[in-house]
C-alpha cells in the first residue's frame, strides 16, 4: 500500500480564498481592514522565517499586519508592555507573539504573555480564557495548528466521529488542544507522551494518528495500523547527513536536496510510514501551511466578534 499524500498547501490556499471575501466585507463595513499585531523578539532565524510568512500571507489576504520587533536583549516587562499596548489599541483585532521566546526571558515568560493577551484578540488561542473555552467546547479562537488539522481532516473526508485517535505529544500549543478538538468531533482520543509505555502498540490502535513530538522520523511504520490517517505536525531541521540518509536513502531526491542546502526540514514521521498508512501529510507542505491559513481565519473572526460587541 502507498499512502495518499494530503496536499496541505492546496487546502491552505482554499481556506485563504474563503477568508478573502470576509476580509473585503469587513473592510468595507469598518472602513479599515482587520489588523493583526505580530510581536517578534530576538533574532532566531526559524522564527524570522515564520513571521515573514505570516506577514506575507496576511497582507496578501487583505489584512493589515503590524509587525513589532524587539531586540533579543528586551526584558519581559518591555514585551508585556507591547502586548498591553496592542490590547488597548482599538485598531488591533489580533495579537500573536511568536514562539519560542528567547531563553533569557525566563521559563515562565511564554505563560505570562499568554496570561496578558486580551482573550478577545488571542488569535493563537493560548490565553487561559481561550483554553478554558476550548475545553468547554465553545472556543471563539482555537489554536491554529490543531484547528488546521481538523479542517484538513474535514476537507479530505476523513471521519472523526467514532474513530480512534492517538495524539503523540501533550504540549499546550499542539498536543492538548489537538486532543480536545478531536474529542469534540466525537473521536475516542488517547494522548501519549515521553512516559507512555509501548508507544508503537498504542499508535497501532489509531485510525487517526497525530505526531507532535519534535523528533525527526520518530514515528516509524511499526506505530501505524494499515490504512490509518497519519498527521505529521513535526518540523525538525536535520543537518547531519547520516540521519538524513537513514530517513530517505542515499539516492533519494531529498538527499540531493540535502547535498545542495546542507540541511533538510523533516517531520516526526518516518518516510517508511507511507508504505502502511492510508493517508499521510508531508513535511514540508502538510500541516505547516494550514497553521498560517487558520491564523488569517482567526484574525477575521476576532475582528468580526469585536465589531459586533462594540
| 54 is known as an active-site residue | yes
| 111 is known as an active-site residue | no
Q: Check: CB of residue 288 under 8 Å from CB of residue 233.
A: no
| Residue closer to ligand NAD (CB basis): 89 or 196 | 196
3-state secondary structure (DSSP) of residue 25: helix
| Residue closer to ligand NAD (CB basis): 38 or 120 | 38
Q: Output the 3-class SS for 231-261.
A: EECCCEEECCHHHHHHHHCCCCHHHHHHHHH
User: Given 66, 118, 122, 124, which residue is catalytic?
Assistant: 124
The arrangement of strands across the sheet holding 188-192 comes to 4-5, 279-280, 229-232, 208-211, 164-168, 188-192
| Residue closer to ligand NAD (CB basis): 213 or 301 | 213
Closest distance of CB 168 from ligand NAD, Å:
5
Q: Check: CB of residue 89 under 8 Å from CB of residue 268.
A: no
* Residue of 229, 81, 253 whose CA lies nearest to 165: 229
Query: Which residue lies nearest ligand NAD, judged by its C-beta?
Result: 171
3-state secondary structure (DSSP) of residue 126: coil
Closest distance of CB 111 from ligand NAD, Å:
13
User: Given 98, 118, 176, 184, which residue is catalytic?
Assistant: 98
Closest distance of CB 89 from ligand NAD, Å:
27
Closest distance of CB 81 from ligand NAD, Å:
26
Which residues of the chain form contacts with ligand NAD (CB under 6 A)? Answer: 145, 168-171, 173-175, 192-194, 199, 212-215, 233-236, 287-288, 291
| Residue closer to ligand NAD (CB basis): 70 or 168 | 168
CA dihedral 148, 97, 121, 124 (to 10 degrees): 20
The arrangement of strands across the sheet holding 94-97 comes to 64-70, 35-41, 94-97
Catalytic residues: 54, 98, 124
Amino acid at each position: 500500500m502507498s499512502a495518499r499524500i494530503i496536499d496541505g498547501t492546496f487546502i491552505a490556499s482554499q481556506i485563504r480564498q474563503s477568508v478573502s471575501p470576509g476580509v473585503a466585507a469587513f473592510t468595507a463595513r469598518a472602513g479599515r481592514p482587520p489588523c493583526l499585531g505580530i510581536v517578534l523578539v530576538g533574532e532566531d532565524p526559524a522564527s524570522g522565517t515564520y513571521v515573514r510568512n505570516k506577514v506575507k500571507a496576511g497582507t496578501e489576504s487583505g489584512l493589515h499586519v503590524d509587525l513589532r520587533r524587539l531586540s533579543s536583549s528586551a526584558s519581559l516587562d518591555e514585551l508585556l508592555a507591547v502586548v498591553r499596548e496592542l490590547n488597548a489599541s482599538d485598531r488591533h483585532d489580533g495579537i500573536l507573539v511568536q514562539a519560542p521566546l528567547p531563553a533569557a526571558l525566563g521559563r515562565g515568560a511564554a505563560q505570562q504573555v499568554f496570561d496578558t493577551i486580551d482573550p478577545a484578540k488571542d488569535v493563537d488561542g493560548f490565553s487561559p480564557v481561550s483554553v478554558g473555552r476550548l475545553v468547554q467546547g465553545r472556543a471563539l479562537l482555537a489554536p491554529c495548528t490543531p484547528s488546521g488539522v481538523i479542517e484538513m481532516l474535514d476537507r479530505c473526508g476523513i471521519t472523526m466521529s467514532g474513530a480512534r485517535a492517538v495524539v503523540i505529544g501533550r504540549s499546550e500549543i499542539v498536543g492538548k488542544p489537538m486532543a480536545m478538538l478531536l474529542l469534540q468531533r466525537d473521536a475516542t482520543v488517547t494522548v501519549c507522551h515521553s512516559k507512555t509505555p509501548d508507544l508503537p502498540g498504542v499508535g497501532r490502535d489509531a485510525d487517526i494518528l497525530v505526531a507532535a513530538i519534535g523528533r525527526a522520523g520518530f514515528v516509524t511504520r511499526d506505530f501505524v495500523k494499515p490504512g490509518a490517517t497519519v498527521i505529521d505536525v513535526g518540523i525538525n531541521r536535520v543537518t547531519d547527513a547520516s540521519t538524513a540518509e537513514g530517513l530517505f536513502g542515499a539516492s533519494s531526491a531529498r538527499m540531493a536536496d540535502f547535498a545542495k542546502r546542507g540541511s533538510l526540514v523533516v517531520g516526526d514521521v518516518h518516510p517508511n510510514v507511507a508504505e502502511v498508512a492510508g493517508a499521510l501529510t508531508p513535511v514540508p507542505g502538510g500541516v505547516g501551511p494550514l497553521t498560517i491559513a487558520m491564523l488569517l481565519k482567526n484574525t477575521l473572526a476576532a475582528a468580526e466578534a469585536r465589531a459586533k460587541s462594540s
